Structure 1
């Protein structure tokens, strides 16, 4: 194999591929990145068994020139370290003596050992199935708004991912750890009779969040037990979590005894002063005494600290008072997803969750269950 390629593009794609690699994988071949050059393209593949990455490069997107086709399997560590430090715009990759890869510039060369390419498993990337086109930045925003409600170590495996569902021409994303629930809904641009109900693993969501930054074309292709995410010239394919996600819609109250209208950013500044931890690194509980004229916030860290503050910057709707406790961290994370929006907090009783929504835009809903001090 011998080829020349734009260094920055190669570095970018190898970096993406290397992030999937698990250095302690029981299959040594999966500790490497598979690189195959044909006459018109370069394919880069990595996998950790449950998730696989594939990039396709050609002359148009990477100034690729292939002199001799071939395929190799290589651990990317030293290659990435060198590429990050090189000043050259282009690099040449050439296999040497069948067990070495040489990376060449005008002034330098690096030789690294290559693995047995025949041991790399055959990975099929499926690009046929139900295809959803979603704005890449909207999906990235959706991830940031919902991912904090996932506990990847939850004993209930179905709760270790995000539930993606299509029903009534709406695409909904739901996450929960049973202490809080996040729901984001997106209206599909085209009518569809399809109904989808899948669970995307947490680790896949993390990889997507890392990959989606500068993506222009983003698609989700759903097929059987897998989902393929198309990100411009890259594919990320993941197995799905088997099982049925719980119906969490009943967690969203439809009535309220108290409704508060306020600026998310204003309340976050106050709550940040209550996000204290004890010596065991356990987050504090914030107590809210809510009435028409003021909210008194209190927290106590046993044998360490007590803090109290009054908050009055809100509009009140209701006829009753309320005393309720929340995990401070959970409440902050839920409110933070609304940026600087005007938001509504609706309450029913000290044993019922708070529902947080935008005052105008209602596509995002957060529920946080109360706790005990």
Structure 2
């Protein structure tokens, strides 16, 4: 009678077999190879000097073998004439109990071949740092095979540590249109904003896409912008997309502004949607205060929210001479015709006509 050890060894030999294949006989862009990338210079150098030191994984189907892992190695060896790809044949069947046909894990038998291919690929990449964009690419693949919760139950342990909050964020992100994945990969939109974006109506998200692609958003800045848009739309009683078109924010995209200036301009335009009067007063106050304090070290600040007709004068000095100069400057300000206008800026009927006045862009 065959011993248990022999049966186990036979099972292992039936599951894993060494193979030597022509690299061009394999599909290196199959969907389950969701992290596939061109070979880098270090891999090319290693193959040229040491040869292939790590085998790829393939699944034999009776027809064309399926590459389960090792797409970069296969792609690199395609460029080397006469090279073959060393691989191990693995089975898509789950781990079997040597004493019975049923899977050791009761749920294992229900895993589809497509899902198992993805899991084999993840297992072959254990230890690799998983970026947010990589997690989403894996999540998209598994979500296409079944419910998102099932996808995360199977793939999650390969992607995240047990206490990693990105698992929850990934579930929210996978409800978003795949077009946003490129913005995550480019660093324009963070994974942490998944919940914020998932809560938006589809038409609002569509209207936001040009701004999402133009600015590198932090979660905080995007949260503030979305709050301003939502509140402004609610107060105005019109769709957010209509307000965005009126805001002038998208008009800034083609002006060749620096990234910092573009971000500041877009945020200012969106804040102006929500607080048109306040931003108008701020612009008017800024123009008048610059005129009042021109040539001095004095900084002029308004009252909180322009709630009182008062200003705060602030100076920073390093020696008595600077203090004397600041005192003289403030004495001159007391007789400036600009000061009364500054003190009553919230009561002026018409905005200042200068370049910084009014509510316009």
The structure with the largest helix share of the pair is 2
TM-score by length of 1: 0.23
Task: Find the structure with the greater CA-based Rg.
Answer: 2
TM-score by length of 2: 0.24
The structure with the largest strand share of the pair is 1
